[in-house]
Amino acid sequence: MLSARSLFEEIIDNDETYQLFCSVAASGEAQGGWENGRIAALLPESMRHLAPKVARHGADEDKHGRIFHGLLRRRGLSAVEVPPETDYTMLLERAGIGLAHDKLKREEPLDEADIITYLAHSRVTEQRASDQMDMLRRHFAGHPEVGNAVRIISGDEDNHLAYCHEELLRLADEGHGPTIRRILHDCARSENRVYRDVSLAVMAHMGRVLGWSRPKAAVLAGAIHASYAYERTHGWRRMVTLTMPARRDALGGPATPEPEFA
């Protein structure tokens, strides 16, 4: 019977698919670390109070990248080039999600509208990350090879999501609510499409390596399309609502160190 657990077990039990999985994850986390680091450096004067939290967010993402590289080293593997069609962060940028890298590479301060955009986009993408890591934590928190990494990263992603909720609600109280709602809705629609396309591409690569039968590959592709259809009609709401988190000031301290194996 196909399940998320059985599929992931197939992926981590095979060196080649495990290598691709960790490489894709490490690349995305490193990109997120760079983006947050640049945003922290370019914050407008009126929002400099966010600098420690944005920097902490970036430090967490960098840490996650090192964790995935550490998982590869433990198995005697190295990172491989990420196929462009599986590069979630690159495809998000092409879809207009997040701040353009050309802007982040300059030394010109960002403005408040840029930071609102950054936080709203992060609220959507961090929901995705939190959901994915929650699924992995439910099934693999006790796994001898990846369990520790899953628990650490999942906790961090929950913190990132809480931070986005809290800061966006504060900005909404300052009168930015309509702008935030518009950006959240636009971003959720675009992110859903990107996530569908990346999921299909990743499953196609995994299937070729693992020798999945045509019916099995078709069932998995159908499930991805069905999930996308659900998100377009109903699931998107979880990505655009704002609720004050139980965990307040979630990024108020320094990043926790990665485990020793990384």
**Using one digit for the tens of pLDDT, what is the confidence trace for 183-209?**
999 999 999 999 999 999 999 999 999
- The mean pLDDT value for 237-251 works out to 94
Other Cβ atoms closer than 10 A to 222? 10
Arithmetic mean of pLDDT over the chain? 94
Please tell me what DSSP assigns to residue 47. Answer: G
pLDDT of residue 252: 86
Q: Does the pLDDT of residue 28 top 50, yes or no? A: yes
Task: Name the maximum alpha-carbon separation found in the chain.
Answer: 57
- The mean pLDDT value for 167-177 works out to 97
> Which is it for the CA torsion 101, 102, 104, 110, positive or negative?
negative
Q: Which amino acid is at 17?
A: T
pLDDT of residue 262: 46
pLDDT of residue 126: 97
Q: For the chain, what percent of residues have pLDDT higher than 90?
A: 90
Q: Does the pLDDT of residue 151 top 80, yes or no? A: yes
Q: For the chain, what percent of residues have pLDDT higher than 70?
A: 97
Other Cβ atoms closer than 10 A to 205? 18
- The mean pLDDT value for 245-251 works out to 93
Radius of gyration of the chain (CA): 18
Query: Is residue 19 a contact partner of residue 72, using CB atoms and an 8 Å limit?
Result: yes
pLDDT of residue 96: 87
**Using one digit for the tens of pLDDT, what is the confidence trace for 72-120?**
999 999 999 999 999 999 999 999 888 999 999 999 999 999 999 999 9
Task: Decide: residue 43, CB within 10 A, 0-12 exposed, 13-18 middle, 19+ buried.
Answer: buried
> What are the structural domains, with CATH classification, of the chain?
4-239 (1.20.1260.10)
Q: Does the pLDDT of residue 261 top 60, yes or no? A: no
pLDDT of residue 1: 56
> 259 pLDDT band (50/70/90 cuts)?
low
> 254 pLDDT band (50/70/90 cuts)?
confident
Beta-carbon contacts of residue 131 (< 8 Å; ≥ 6 apart)? none
Full DSSP string of 147-195: HHHHHHHHHHHHHHHHHHHHHHHHHIIIIIHHHHHHHHHHHHHHHHHHH
- The mean pLDDT value for 20-42 works out to 96
> 5 pLDDT band (50/70/90 cuts)?
confident
In 3D space, the residue among 47, 35, 23 whose CA is nearest the CA of residue 174 turns out to be 47
